[in-house]
Structure 1
Amino acid sequence: MEIKYSLDDLYLFWHVCRAGSFSKAAELLQMPVSTLSRRVSRLEQDLDLRLLHRDAHRLQLTSAGEQYLQRCGPLFNELGQVSASLDQEARDASGLIRITAPVGVTRYWLGEMLNRFLQQYPAIDIDLMLSNNNLDMVANQIDLAIRVGDPGLDNWIARPLMDFGFILCAASQRPQWQALSHPRELDQQPLVAVSPIINWDLETTDGQQHYRVLPAANTRVRVNDYDIATTAVKNGLGIGLLPCWLALPAIRRGELVRVLPQWLGLRRQSCLLYRDRDHQPYRLRLLIDFLLQQAQQEPTLEEWLEH
């Protein structure tokens, strides 16, 4: 059934009934009494019903007006509660945030940062979905994603978070691989590759030379997790292009050695991905600002290599 009257006018009628007069309702609504009276009269015309008896001293509901008030009153009360709840959500540091992030980034950095954030804001909850594949943000009702490389979504906001550096490594018990002099020789060596990265794009430390390795038939292990790939490299299964945060501690422990140390993997940038810049829940704004601030304190690739 088509509604032939304005719900806004019905809302004004409800306010008049609650206030007990047009003047009090107009004051609460911050609108002229004449406008308010005209809108209620229009509602009566649209309904073809008299809702109010008016005189100079009081208002009195008609039988039809009483029925409309009884039916619409609870609806507008509930809408008011919903509006208050949404307003509180926009202003309070509370509620649930749904996040998706790669496994490696979470183990290395994000997990600890989220723990610190939750300790700081005890009324905020987090639902964290780990995946090295790009989940459907809408279907999974994701509020915030961390992605490495191409974010893959044009209609979402991407904020740079931090860069990840990569170095070529091999097991310390495989000294023959340390004698390589150029990346082209990697085509003849067993490799440990990490999905979804297809190519190894390398450059010299001075940035003057570039070379692309295509791990293919010589790939002994392909896995979608850097921790597993690092373990495979440690066990001597092949040469791997590993993130500095995993490789350098293992090098200091004597488990790995660098291969072709004058070559580096191209840095990969991570980013925060979210839907809306202007109409975010307060809890989400807090988390975004927190992560961006913490990322600024992370060591650069040069600092990683120096230590």
Structure 2
Amino acid sequence: MTVLVRPLHPGEPADVEGFTRVRRACLPAMLATPASVAHDAAHAHPDAHYVQLVALDDTGAVTGTAQVGIAYDSPEPGQGYANVYVHPDRRGRGAGTLLLRTAEEHLALHGAREVYAWALDAGRNLSWAAARGYRRGRSAHFLRLDLASGPLPPRPAPPPGVELRTAADFADDPRPLFDLDAETLADEPGDVGAELSDFEQWLRDTWHHPLLDRGLTTVAVVDGRPAAFTLARTDGDGRYSTGMTGTARAFRGRGLAKLAKNESLHRAREAGITVAYTGNDAGNAPMLAINKWFGYTLDATEVRHVRTLGS
């Protein structure tokens, strides 16, 4: 079987639908729709040199995907990423290897020295990454919550001085949410640090993203200032995902993030959402404990790998 790898064509329905199909089959917790795939292709920061690759079989069907780019917002230059996924029914035919090779060539062309890649925590996936020179790093867990029939914690009233709002309430000026997102992101554990400083790019990446659900994104406000939030994404097909949950440093230890997330999950169920996903670094004990309290269970684990180009 011949495998062809090329950049995704955002305007071609077969490409974006095929990309979406593969991502959903490989990792349901990472929401994807044709609209979100096309949006990501069209609005990436130019310094990211972002490209979505597709692997096609003899019939032209998409059998594998890769999301490739430079971590331009990292304080350490030369960090790239290449996340490769091949449909479970089409593995072992060379698509993943060709996707990764093409991704590495693209990243090297744009100055990457190291390439980070996620691999599902399963023997076949881990050995595949190791055979291609990738060293195992930290892990992250994807968690799943049944909203159709599973219980949720009670819905308490906010404490005095705290008001629960939605992202829709900030439609006229979302900058306070940007500031809160930037502060929480700076403290998030991970292999590659990030500094969220470009408001206009945040508007493209987050605020105007087709998966963002402003009505379910919930913000705890203290004295008029956003203090904690949970960012909700939905795909229009009954699935919900938490993009980020966090609290400004001055307000931590008061349970505000848990309060915001609980409110969001209750409203998601009322809106007909049937399943909620979230993801946490394996070392993020506080958020893992909060999600266990909500009733989330382990859905999948990925291990981040890194390779130094030219080694």
Shorter chain as denominator, the TM-score bin is under 0.3
More strand by share: 2
More helix by share: 1
The TM-score, its normalising length taken from structure 1, stands at: 0.22
Instruction: Flag the structure with larger Rg.
Output: 1
